[in-house]
Structure 1
Amino acid sequence: MNRRHFLRNTLFTGVGTGIAAAVPMEVLAAIRKQVSPSDVIRIGLIGCKGQGWNNITSLLRMSEVQCIALCDIDQNILSQRKADLEKINIRPTLYTDYRKLLANKDIDAVVIATPDHWHCLIMTDAIAAGKDIFQEKPVANSIYEAQQMLAAANRSNRIVQVAQWQRSQQHFQDAIAFVHSGKLGKVTSAKAWMYRGGTTPLPVVPNEPTPAGVDYNMWLGPAEKRPFNKNRFHYEFRWFWDYAGGLMTDWGVHLIDMVLMGMKADVPKSVTASGGKYVFPTDARETPDVMTALYDYGDFQMTWEQNLSTGVGLYGMQHGIAFIGHNGTLLLNRSGWEVRPDKEKDKPLMEAVAWQAQSDKGLDKHTTNFIEAVKSRKKERLNCPIEAGVRVAVNSHMGNIAYRTGETIFWDAAANKFAQKEAEHLRIPDYHNGWKLPKI
């Protein structure tokens, strides 16, 4: 790999999953200051293990933020996070049922960082409880749920920021502004991709007793009742349709979101997808390890590509977005962006833009943006309002639905449904175990 390719891929290799690690407690202890009780914003965290912990420690960089409650179905994680927060003199109340946390009237806002299949229920309940929300992506595990969440938010005065934190990073904003400038010429094609090299098989393992301290029935919630299996628990849940949408809704929502921003697009007219479990055909995952989806928006097309077998992706970039215009191509990822001119008779049609490296921390800027909006009560200040999160979630689920049905699917925007029966069935989830699908 040459130096140019190394720089384009450095950020991902440095952070593993592409998101900055949680802020260490000793750093928080050094930067947090005393603030007036009237200025304190009291937050509850729902889902404390991975990304939820990253989110709350980023929020705690701001001295006016206080974490007064933690909720998780795993007592082991709750105990660990409680001990962590006590190092900076924060002593939260602990919950294993999010509904009891939402009933705490001292809480101003919540961070929702559970598995995807819980997002809709918890967010709509949080809206009803009068809480502001920092909502982990993807917004929901289905198109119908995402639309119900949007309806709930629009009927309230609550501040809802979706954790698509790339929108707060300067280099992403600069790149999208360049696309909007028109310098690329007419853009008729865009690409987004993630080539997740280094992934290993998820071995098939037998079901086993639920680990001590875990409320597994609460973890399942509205998902189908199944015996406990560690492959479906914690981080690995994302590879099973009951709870998530694989790489498409893990990375796709971040990258496709940039395409929708750059092209000022909403929903496609049609989507076609193909792929399968080609890399690890016998491992435990349900979601595809190789997939290509083609979206037709009427005046441009987009392709999404995912592959778990190699880290060498399109244009020498392991993950990224490409806007392909008549005059040149803009390439963008979490490390930076550049423009490569097209040529006619060896003459460049535009000026090249050299690599513009990432220079800030997207999550920290995103949580700061959320708190600023909470203070001002101005939704328009949000870098990723609920509308944006829903838009890209709908697009991502359409790609998965096209793959799962094996059909080209067509969206009827006026009727808000698919033309195909099987696709329409996947638009609306089934809820189980006594939980009711929200209908706003």
Structure 2
Amino acid sequence: MNNSRRKFIQTSAKLSAAAGIATAFPSVFSMAAGKVQHKIKVGAIGINGMGWADLNAIIKHPDVVCTSLCDVDKNVLEKRTKELADKGIKTKGYNNYKELLASNDVDVVVIGTPDHWHCLQMIEACAAGKDVYVEKPLGNSITECKAMVAAATKYNRIVQVGQWQRSQQHFKDAITFVHSGKLGKIRLVKAWAYQGWMKSIPVKPDGPVPAGVDYDLWLGPAKKRPFNPNRFHFEFRWFWDYAGGLMTDWGVHMLDYALMGMKATTPKSVMAAGGKFAYPDDAAETPDTLTTVYEFNDFNIQWEHANGIDGGPYGRNHGVAFIGNKGTLVVNREGWEVIPEGDRMGATPLQKRVDNGLDLHAVNFIDAVKSRDKASLNAPVEAGAHIAIFSQMGNIAYRTGKKIYWDEAKGGFNDAAADKLITSTYNNGYKIPSV
């Protein structure tokens, strides 16, 4: 099965809810006992890709209604508005997210904008009294992630990060096996994303802003540049102004499970090497090939990614491998298995996935919104910040070309070049919120 992000975005909104899933939802919603019960009103900001998939998963809930859509691209907004109208769902459309956040007709906000917008929009949504489902990676810098955690706490909001694998049963089962100790001493964890469908991005000239696009609002805090189609919509993730390439795009998924399996927090050191080895002359800035090593006291976590090829470790184009003295457990979106080291343990054949992770992640989020129980979230803001910061450290090591060491007490690397990349540079009058 093709597990690419592109296919996932295209198909996830079309998937029917898993059998019996409706019975998991209470039929009414009430913020407190004795109050008038009503539907949870959802508004979505950024609805071209995963934001649209997220919204469609959430509105499968019988106690949820979509009331509002927002996108800086009028063409996308009109398309999505019609798609919902065809299903009998009437929504109000916004160009500017601030107007959506000011609406009393929105309880919950879905944020599916490019990475460089997540911080501002999530914090402002929390300040406006909205609960939030925000796409991963949580933030586009270490400083942003910390501010977002602080905001969720300050405003006491329910914030779920779009790391939907945390809601899938086979991933949970795999981690339970890792924690059982049956693999023996684990000395190395490999996580990877080899994405054959991610081809070269041909260099294109700057050009006019497409009709219906509010380009200044799309840029937001990013550096002011002429419009270029290579930097717009899906391809934004290959440019440092807006994102962190595959390291933060897929790394937050795969490395998240590496950390969970090892119950790991902050690495002793990080080093990375790679570059544009496959497509040296194309338009992208982020590396198409990268190896990153995170050093801990008695094990290493290694990240690998490669655009344009699918031949990853263990015959899988993505996954996580926990390499122990007795055997290796390999898990990805298809399932998990155990490969024994000789006769030191028995094999476990492939345990295939049995559910729809995105749908279950939406269930978990709405349940938490109703109960006001942050502890019940499968991907709370703290978890999203942890893995986003971890992935950012890998990019910082790559961009500086140095082995870097995090100083928790000082909140920095004690290296000028690395410390400079801890905080995103905001432009055009925007400032990182002070929480």
Give the TM-score, by structure 1 length: 0.93
1:245 aligns with 2:259: no
| Match status 1:350 vs 2:374 | no
CA RMSD of aligned residues (A): 2.0
| Corresponding residue of 2:64 | 65
Percent of paired sites with the same residue:
53
Task: Please give the residue correspondences for 1:25-424 in structure 2 after superposition, counting only pairs within 5 Å.
Answer: 38-343=37-342, 348-424=343-419
Moved over 3 A (4+): 15-20, 24-28
Secondary structure of the 1:432 match is coil
Q: 1:350 to 1:382 in 2, by over 3 A?
A: same
Q: Counterpart amino acid of 2:124?
A: D
Query: Do the aligned residues in 1 keep the contact of 2:9 with 2:49 (CA within 8 Å)?
Result: no
Whole-Å separation in 2 of the counterparts to 1:383 and 1:27? 19
Amino acid at match of 2:123: T
Distance 1:437 1:124 in 2: 10
8 Å CA contact 1:20–1:363 kept in 2: the answer is: no
User: 3-state SS of the aligned residue for 2:251?
Assistant: helix
Alpha-carbon distance in structure 2 between the residues aligned to 1:328 and 1:241: 39
Residue of structure 2 equivalent to 1:3: none
Residue 420 of structure 1: how far off its partner (Å): 1.0
Q: Deviations over 1:261-305 (max 9, x none)?
A: 111111211100000001000000000000000001222111100
- Provide closer, same or farther for how the CA distance between residues 22 and 310 of structure 1 changes in structure 2, counting only shifts above 3 A: closer
1:25 touches 1:85 (CA, 8 Å); kept in 2? no
Q: Distance in 1 between matches of 2:164 and 2:424?
A: 27
The total of aligned residue pairs comes to 424
Shift of 1:38: 2.2
Q: CA deviation at 1:24?
A: 4.0
- Give the Å deviation of 1:62: 1.1
Aligned-pair distance for 1:18? 4.5
CA deviation vs aligned residue, 1:191-226 (integer Å, no higher than 9, x gap): 000111133210100000100100000000000000
Q: Gaps spanning 5+ residues in structure 2: where? A: 29-35
Displacement of 1:25: 10
- Distance across 2 between alignment mates of 1:27 and 1:331: 27
Contact 1:267 1:394 in 2 (8 A): no
C-alpha distance in structure 1 between counterparts of 2:423 and 2:117, whole Å? 14
1-structure distance, mates of 2:147, 2:289? 31
TM-aligned CA deviation for residue 308 of structure 1: 1.3
139-148 or 196-205, larger mean C-alpha shift: 196-205
In 2, Cα distance between equivalents of 1:126 and 1:21: 28
- Following superposition, the deviation at residue 177 of structure 1 comes to 0.6
Q: Given the superposition, is the C-alpha separation of residues 25 and 309 from structure 1 closer, same or farther in structure 2, using an over 3 Å criterion? A: closer
Aligned-partner Cα distance in 2 for 1:338–1:25: 26
Unpaired runs of 5+ in structure 1?
1-9
CA distance in 1, matches of 2:297, 2:264: 10
Match of 2:3 in 1: 12
Using the TM superposition, give the Cα deviation of residue 351 of structure 1 relative to its aligned residue in structure 2, in angstroms. 1.7
The alpha-carbon deviation at position 17 of structure 1 amounts to 4.6
Once residues 9 and 48 of structure 2 are traced to their aligned partners in structure 1, the CA distance between those partners, rounded to angstroms, is: 14
Amino acid of the structure 1 residue aligned with 2:200: P
Aligned-pair distance for 1:63?
A: 1.6
Greater Cα offset, 291-300 or 277-286? 291-300
Query: Matches of 1:257 and 1:25 in 2, distance apart?
Result: 25
Alpha-carbon distance, 1:39 to partner: 3.2
Q: Is the 8 A contact 2:170 2:354 kept in 1?
A: yes
Conserved 8 A contact 1:25-1:88 = no
**Structure-2 separation of matches of 1:414 and 1:26:** 48
CA contact (8 A) 1:167 1:384 kept: yes
